[in-house]
Structure 1
């Protein structure tokens, strides 16, 4: 899809879902005298990120995008990938609708306090896409509320291995899960979680603030102050951080 044909896309419309595209590559098989070539066809979920950037993500066995995303320039994308609208309509759209439905049912059950039903629905979603950030976050919140530490640890390890979980696109889920960890007393897990986030996004004052709250509840005042100061260095007008820092420094002030 060229941006120089017809009306240009407005920046506010990005990213654009383009659908499913196929990639046909030659692959070597065998070795020596029996070596030959065959063509390997794979399917990818494509989005247009800007006028010149395109993102592709492989489809899994259930026809939904899952796994590492790659960004290509316009010419590379147009030369290598072929649109597959029929495949998208018949296979991917229904699968994505099913996945979305399971996630919604899980979220509704969680909000209603039905943790067992929420767990079932999020697990069903993970059966469609085991790398689903939304499903893993949802399941993590369930195990955090249940205080099922072993299962929570497994989900947390999964999330820590998926950089996408810490991107702006999933900011709401990111915040909800972090708050759930802290409120349910999973302080060490909270620290791992927020520390990982800062490896990916270093300039988010809210993460430093939330990390400070965890250290405060663990009784580690110096680390709390350190993270509040870091938050304020990024955003000096952060009122909550200003108040929290003032509170934390009160015991250090000499008595009259």
Structure 2
């Protein structure tokens, strides 16, 4: 497979107008002065980024998401939005670097994650662990690799190791983004089923700090509270879930169960 150029994909923003969509590796430079007096000199530092243009903002401005490239030449860490005029003024394309360094490593990471997830789906948990760890060697902040390794440990009953992975996951904002919703839900459910109820409560609380308007998160933390023995917090979370969705049947039944139990 040959690497694409610094991907410029077309998207239609008006029936008669097409605008190139920016994607690829770019760099920025910063200049600082080191030393004092006659020994002072300029030092130029270069930083590399992976860039993808996203949808226009609410005012119709073109926006690109800028993400740092780590020491292994793969995108890692938070993405920052930059308006297109500022981006064009400060970022320089790095086509050769993308083709020879970034794209091959991104492809390697993608293929490693695919093998890891296939192995876990097939129940080959030790092979899955090996592949997830290989992915984390490339990008220790990769959400899919962290979720996958944590789930693998839980499926093997290694709750202490799963707890260590949990500590990393809750620091990653990207772990709670819509694109990872399936893995996010599976991870939270397995924390609770693995009797890691304190971690499950902290996990869902972290998610609610990002999105308080999701009735499913309130229901899930209610279940974790219940299994931890915090019935008052459980009731409060169920009521909040029903404020957001009065027809949420599982929350209604859960409250009815609590009322009968305590009646």
Confirm or deny a common fold (TM above 0.5): yes
From 25, 28, 31, the equivalent of 1:26 is 31
1:97-176 alignment runs, 5 A limit: 97-176=107-186
- In 1, are the aligned partners of 2:74 and 2:106 still within 8 Å (CA)? yes
Displacement, 1:28? 2.1
Instruction: For structure 2, list consecutive stretches of 5 or more residues without a partner in the other structure.
Output: 1-5, 16-20, 57-61
Please tell me whether residue 49 in structure 1 is matched to residue 59 in structure 2: no
Shift, 1:7, TM fit: 4.7
Gaps of 5+ in 1: 11-15
Q: Give a deviation string over 1:179-207, Cα, whole Å, max 9, x none.
A: 11112221111111111111122211111
**1:38 matched residue in structure 2:** 43
Pairing partner for 2:189 from 156, 179, 184: 179
Single out whichever of 20-29 and 98-107 deviates more from structure 2. 20-29
Aligned partners of 1:203, 1:93: CA distance in 2, in Å? Answer: 37
Q: Equivalents in 2 of 1:43, 1:202: separation in Å? A: 35
- Residue pairs, 1:65-84, within 5 angstroms: 65-84=75-94
Farther-moved stretch of structure 1 (122-131 vs 176-185)? 176-185
After the TM superposition, which segments of 4 or more aligned residues of structure 1 sit over 4 Å from their partners? none
TM-score norm. by structure 2 comes to: 0.86
Stretch moving more, 220-229 or 121-130: 220-229
Q: Tell me the matched-pair count.
A: 245
Give the TM-score taking structure 1 as reference length.
0.88
Alpha-carbon distance in 2 for matches of 1:26, 1:103? 38
Q: CA RMSD in A?
A: 2.2
Paired residues of 2:22 and 2:64 also in contact (CA < 8 A): no
